[in-house]
Amino acid sequence: MSHTDFNTDLFRLVVEEIAGKEGVDVATVLVNVEETTDEEIAAKTGLKLNVVRRILYKLHDNHLASYRRVRDTDTGWFLYYWRIDPRKAQALVNRKKRMVLSLLEQRLEHETNNELYACVNRDSPPVPFEEAMNLSFRCPVCNGLLQYVDNERTISFLKKQVEELRADLEASSTM
């Protein structure tokens, strides 16, 4: 696979986030071969075999690396031949962005659809009107007054974040 088929910087960042700098070393070996064993990666990187295996499983769990298993006819042991697809880094980033987008959308919906009240004495998360009413507009911790929260700035900020993330996901899905 040539390095022009994918965004090298993005790939390195994603691998480093998942498996650290040693993960980048392992991934670099894999990018430059069609497939190889964990023992060969350990020999090329100078990393301990158990460290290489831990990294490979992290990459596999995140759908960047895959393997094929072959039984050694002499020993009866399984050999694992590992390969990596750097282009899947963008898909992983997009999955995480979609997860963040979903959380932002939920928060935006909560902020938009609820009148919120917060304690005047504490920096605690605001509660919806119904909950504040059930508490007699008193903080359950310090008995301070629960006061209406003007959340227009929060709503505006969340809307902007949601729009930017949607646009970013749309742009990266057409690459």
**Type of residue found at 147:** Q
d(CA 65, CA 84): 4
Which domains occur in the chain, in start order?
3-86 (1.10.10.10), 90-173 (no CATH)
d(CA 171, CA 61): 26
Q: Name residue 81's beta-bridge partners.
A: 37, 68
pLDDT digits (tens, 9 = 90+) for 98-149: 999 999 999 999 999 999 999 999 888 899 999 999 999 999 999 999 999 9
Mean pLDDT of the chain: 90
Cβ–Cβ under 8 Å, residues 83 and 34: yes
d(CA 89, CA 7): 9
CA dihedral of 53, 25, 19, 88, whole degrees rounded to 10: -100
d(CA 12, CA 3): 12
What is the pTM for the complete model shown?
A: 0.62
DSSP 33-52: SS-EEHHHHHHHH---HHHH
d(CA 65, CA 28): 12
pLDDT at position 9: 81
Structure confidence at residue 85 as a pLDDT band (50, 70, 90): confident
Helix (H) or strand (E) holding 126: none
| Encoded tokens for 83 | 């390969």
Give helix then strand counts, H and E, for the chain.
Answer: 6, 6
Q: CA angle, corner 46, sides to 43 and 51, nearest 5?
A: 95
Q: Which of 71, 65, 61 is nearest to 29 (CA)?
A: 65
d(CA 153, CA 61): 39
